[in-house]
Structures are given as C-alpha cells and as structure tokens.
Amino acid sequence: MSTETNDHLSIKAKIEDWLDAEGISFDQVQDLNSFFHIVANLKNVPIHINESKVRRGVLVLQGILELNEDQLYKIGKFSPEDGESLFQSLFASLDKSEYLFLLQKDFAMQNWLKVQRTLYIEDLTRTNLLTEMKDLNMKLVNVNYMVNEALKGLVPLSDAEPYK
C-alpha cells in the first residue's frame, strides 16, 4: 500500500475513533469522488464527512436539510411569491463568510439546503472536528426553526387545496 493510501486510511481511522469515543454512530457511504465518506448520525441532522479526491488535504463537513411532510404540505398552500419571500429571507440569514451553501428555491426538492465547511487535515484535531460538526448541526436546526416560524406567519391561499 502506498504512503498516500495509508494517509487517507489513517485520517479515516482517526475520525472513526473520535466518533466512537463520543458515542456518535456513523455509516460508510460509497463515493467515487472521495477517498472516504462517513455519515455521522448526530441527533438532529446527519453530518457527512469526506476527503475529496479533488481537493487533497481538505476534509469536507456537510449537513443536508430536508423538510418534513408537514412543512412541505404547508409550503404547498402558499403562493409562489410567499415561497420566494421565504427563500430570500433564509438566504439572507445564512453566514456566507465561513460556509458554502447550495440552496434550492424548490423546497420540495430532496436536499433543498446543503451547508458545507472545509477543514484542513493538517490542522485537524478531535476538538476542532467535533465543534465544527456541532456548529453545523446547530446552523441547520436554526434554519429549520426559521422555516417553521415563517410558515406560522404566512396565510394559505386556500385550505381546500394546495397552490398549483
């Protein structure tokens, strides 16, 4: 095995050990674009951890938010203008200085919000990784709260059927 392969396996093993020590369960994900891809099962949002083959030496943390059935039902009752307003308010609230975002205007899309943070492997510590994971989790939980609050304030077009 090459030294490079050992380096990737070593950082993966280290991350798995840290997650185990914290009692955080995780799963392996097949990902042709990464040396490894782990999904850590935090309480509210799964956090993806991978080392990309494109950006060597960089670890990517990614949280993905999907709306639940009740939220999708409520959003379906509002006009496109109200949906656009909700989208704009969420986009304005995101911290674009430290995180990368993929935000879809169609809330019904699976993975409508992805938030990424990159960490340099050479600077990676257990404390740093766990703190970043928890911060990312909280950012997504807060966005979900914002969606719920916005949905309370919007008036549906009709209770009889969703807006088409």
Q: Give residue 160's pLDDT band: very low, low, confident or very high (50, 70, 90).
A: very low
* pLDDT at residue 69 is higher than 60: yes
Confidence at residue 128, expressed as pLDDT on a 0 to 100 scale? 93
C-alpha distances in Å from residue 37, one per residue of 28, 29, 40, 143, 156: 6, 5, 10, 25, 41
* pLDDT at residue 163 is higher than 50: no
3-state secondary structure of 4: helix
Token pair 């656009």: residue = 84
Least confident of 35-44, 93-102, 129-138, 152-161: 152-161
Higher pLDDT residue, 47 or 157?
47
* pLDDT at residue 16 is higher than 50: yes
C-alpha distances in Å from residue 57, one per residue of 1, 96, 102, 118: 19, 22, 22, 10
Q: Give residue 92's pLDDT band: very low, low, confident or very high (50, 70, 90).
A: confident
Confidence at residue 158, expressed as pLDDT on a 0 to 100 scale? 58
Confidence at residue 109, expressed as pLDDT on a 0 to 100 scale? 76
Q: What angle do CA 21, 23, 61 make, to 5 degrees?
A: 85
Q: Give residue 164's pLDDT band: very low, low, confident or very high (50, 70, 90).
A: very low
Instruction: Dump pLDDT digits (tens) for 136-145.
Output: 999 888 888 9
Domains of the chain: 3-153 (3.30.1460.10)
